[in-house]
Amino acid sequence: MTLKVTTMKPKLRVLIAECMQEISSFNPLPSGYDNFHIERGAQMLAQRGLNTALGGALAVFEETGIEPVLAIGARAGSAGRLSAAGWKRVAAEVLEAVAAPAATGVDGVYFSLHGAMGADGELDPEGYLLTETRRIVGKHIPIVISLDLHGIMTDRMLRQINGVAIYHSYPHVDFASTGQRAARILHRLVTEALRPVIARVVIPALVRGDELITKSGCYGELIREARRLELEGVAMSAGIMIGNPFTDVPELCTQVIVATSGDETLARNEALRLAREFWPLRHRMQGKLVSLERSIAQAASISGPVLFTDAADATSSGATGDSNLILKGLRDAAYAKRVLAQIVDPGAAAAAHKAGVGATISVGLGGALDPGRFSPMQVTARVRLLSDGRARLETMKTRLDGGPTAVLEFDNFTVVVFSLTLSLFDRAMYYANGLDPQDFDLVVVKSPHTENHMYDAWVDNNFNVDVAGSTSANLKSLGHTICARPMYPLDDAAVFEPVATLYRN
């Protein structure tokens, strides 16, 4: 009798790493290592089931039987440029974590990135990390990344990767599905004999405003075309990255990315087509701002609730969060209805915690972090509530930490005061501190946009208020000095001659 000997095919192993931060170059307060939340190895499994890129990717790897080799997850909230010391430590820890499992052999790499990092001395952190990761794993191991559509894909990044998945929604809700798309691309690359090609078309335009809302704006119409290319199998991935106009780096731009399983002509033609369709729409994709004075006057005449969007101090885009310009304007104009607002001011929060609930304190509110733009407004307020400033984002369910937090009441104002800058693009921190926005007549949100159901669905009007800040939609006011020029709308004379650059790694 002849015995048949079978050998088990070794399980595929994929290294997983993450490094995410979005910065505003116009925020004067640098960020550092302490801004990052670090998860190592099995700690990264905390993202399983969450609406995050890692959460989505993990689900696909489990479904396809791929062994995830968990290296490191390093995530920081949006902030000012990362300090040289902070970047050196973050980069060293990320690459050390990548090198350890790589030494034992992996079949692929999934790297979750944002794309709008920036550090003192390194204006392309993602490009550096990918270059070093490629050096560590070798030239034959496929690397697939996921990126925010506000990221800035650089030539150096494209020269290292074999695939990419880009967010398709704004406001962002597709974190997990983007991770799933990236994981499926990587699965194909480690199981099929593919030679993918990526086409890139750079568009000299920076955009902002309501037309970027993908459910309703003209940008969304083009994103749906990119999604169609993916869903119909025409492209492995496609997207339109509009960059973060507040991250002033050499390759800041809008760009179209189309990747195919090997068809160079298809990748080139589709990228050029989408870019040509985008360019005439750049005028529409600008912020439509309303002066503070006009916003207040109109709000006073509206019977229902209104929203004041303080996009210039959008903490989720890298601003400090300590602008009090809208609060000052409302008080100076004697706006009499109930106002709910948020602000970052560690000194005011500390004074409230020291005094205790029910106490009355006199403090300077605002201007604590960006004194060049904002000066403190003196208030005498009652301490209504104190908290540890912790909550979870509504959409992603990831943690928020505003540090010691206080709710202050003065006149007709209720203000949540944080010690730390944190993302404020939903209602989580209002709810966590016992406040329901629908109980107020005017609500201030430090974000350019929120999901429709959070505010726009029930307010009578949303005023995009024109005030100063490090993330102002008035892009000409910011003072870009590093990005390529000419660039619309910084330069009215910017012209577009579409050229597709192809990458085959």
Residues 79-134: tens digit of each pLDDT: 999 999 999 999 999 999 999 976 679 999 999 999 999 999 999 999 999 999 99
**Quick one: 273 and 346 in the same domain?**
no
What confidence score (pLDDT) does residue 5 get?
Answer: 47
- pLDDT digit string, tens, across residues 276-305: 999 999 999 999 999 999 999 999 999 999
Q: Determine the Cα–Cα distance for residues 87 and 172; give it in Å rounded to an integer.
A: 26
Our measurement of the distance from residue 215's CA atom to the centroid of its chain's CA atoms, rounded to an integer in Å, reads 18
Is the confidence at residue 473, as pLDDT, over 60?
Answer: yes
User: Tell me, what's the pLDDT at 104?
Assistant: 79
Strand partners, 464: 309
Phi, psi of 225 (to 5 degrees): -65, -45
> What is the count of structural domains for the chain?
2
Q: Tokens for 178, please give them.
A: 């983007």
**What CATH number does the domain containing 253 carry?**
3.40.50.2300
Per the CB < 8 A criterion, the answer to whether 80 and 31 are in contact is yes
pLDDT at 2: 53
Cα–Cα distance measured from residue 366 to residue 449, given in angstroms and rounded to the nearest whole number: 22
The verdict on residue 339 lying in a domain is: yes
Q: Which pLDDT value is given to residue 6?
A: 47
pLDDT tens track for 363-408: 999 999 999 999 999 999 999 999 999 999 998 888 999 999 999 9
The answer on 347 and 250 residing in a single domain is: no
Domain that holds residue 66: 13-284
Rounded to 10 degrees, what is the CA torsion of 463, 467, 471, 476?
110
Q: Of 249, 284, 319, which residue constitutes the final position of a domain?
A: 284
Pairwise CA distance, residues 38 & 93, whole Å: 10
Q: Are residues 400 and 428 in the same domain?
A: yes
pLDDT above 90 covers a percentage of the chain that reads 95
Please compute the mean of the pLDDT values over residues 475-484 and round it to a whole number: 97
Give which of 470, 430, 453, 489 is closest to 311, Cα–Cα: 470
Does 240 share its domain with 312?
no
Residue 481 located in a structural domain: no
- Whether 335 shows a pLDDT value over 70: the answer reads yes
Distances from the Cα of 25 to the Cα of 126, 367, 469, angstroms: 16, 18, 12
438: pLDDT confidence band, cut at 50, 70 and 90?
A: very high
Q: Are 254 and 150 in contact (CB under 8 A)?
A: no
Give how far Cα 361 sits from Cα of 52, 334, 418, 430, Å: 41, 22, 16, 21
Tell me the pLDDT band of 9, cut-offs 50, 70 and 90: low
Verify that 346 and 305 share a domain, yes or no. yes
Whether residue 340 sits in one domain with residue 220:
no
The encoded tokens of residue 32 equal 């550092």
Spatial contact of 418 and 140, defined as CB atoms under 8 Å apart: no
Distance, in Å, from the CA atom of 35 to the CA atom of 21, rounded to the nearest integer, reads 9
Mean pLDDT of 221-241: 98
CB-based contact 14:62 (threshold 8 Å): no
CA 275 to chain centre: 23
Q: Is residue 176 part of a domain?
A: yes
Please indicate, yes or no, if residue 382 is contained in any of the structural domains.
Answer: yes
User: Rounded mean pLDDT of 225-233?
Assistant: 98
Rg of the chain on CA atoms, in Å:
24
Q: How far apart are the first and last CA of the chain?
A: 50
b/e burial code for range 66-104 (CB count within 10 A of at least 16 → b) = bebbbbbbbbbbbbbbbbeebbbbbbebbbebbbebbee
pLDDT for the residue 216: 96
Residues 434, 301 within the same domain: yes
Instruction: Indicate if 75 and 193 belong to the same structural domain.
Output: yes
Nearest-angstrom CA–CA distance, 325 and 377: 9
pLDDT above 70 (res 465)? yes
Statement to judge: residues 158 and 172 lie in one domain: yes
**Is residue 469 included in any domain, yes or no?**
yes
Cis status of the peptide bond prior to 346, with omega within 30 of 0: no
Q: Is residue 96 domain-shared with residue 209, that is, in the same domain?
A: yes
For 284, counting Cβ atoms within 10 Å of its Cβ (0-12 exposed, 13-18 middle, 19+ buried), the class is middle
Q: Is 27 helix (H, G, I), strand (E, B) or coil?
A: coil
Q: Is the pLDDT of residue 439 over 90?
A: yes
Question: Over the stretch 12-30, which tens digit does the pLDDT of each residue have?
Answer: 999 999 999 999 999 999 9
Query: In the predicted model, what is the mean pLDDT of the chain?
Result: 96
- Looking at residue 398, its pLDDT comes to 87
Checking if the pLDDT of 462 tops 60, the result is yes
**Alpha carbons 198 and 474: distance in angstroms, whole number:** 33
Can you read off the two tokens belonging to residue 101? 């499992």
Residue 23 tokens read as: 């910065």
User: Mean pLDDT throughout 472-491?
Assistant: 97
Does residue 478 sit within a domain?
no
Both 217 and 345 in a single domain?
Answer: no
CA distance 338 to 461: 16
* pLDDT per position as a tens digit, 49-83: 999 999 999 999 999 999 999 999 999 999 999 99
Look at residues 238, 254, 284 and tell me which one is the last residue of a structural domain.
284
Q: In what order do the strands lie in the sheet with 197-203?
A: 237-241, 254-260, 197-203, 500-503
The pLDDT score that the predictor gives to residue 4 is 53
Residue 102 falls inside a structural domain:
yes
DSSP bridge pairs for 15: 69, 109
pLDDT value of residue 10: 74
Question: Rounded CA gap, 104 and 121, in Å?
Answer: 32
Domain boundary among 284, 312, 340: 284
Residues 376, 270 within the same domain: no
Domain presence at residue 278: yes
pTM, 2 dp = 0.93
For residues 451-466, average pLDDT: 97
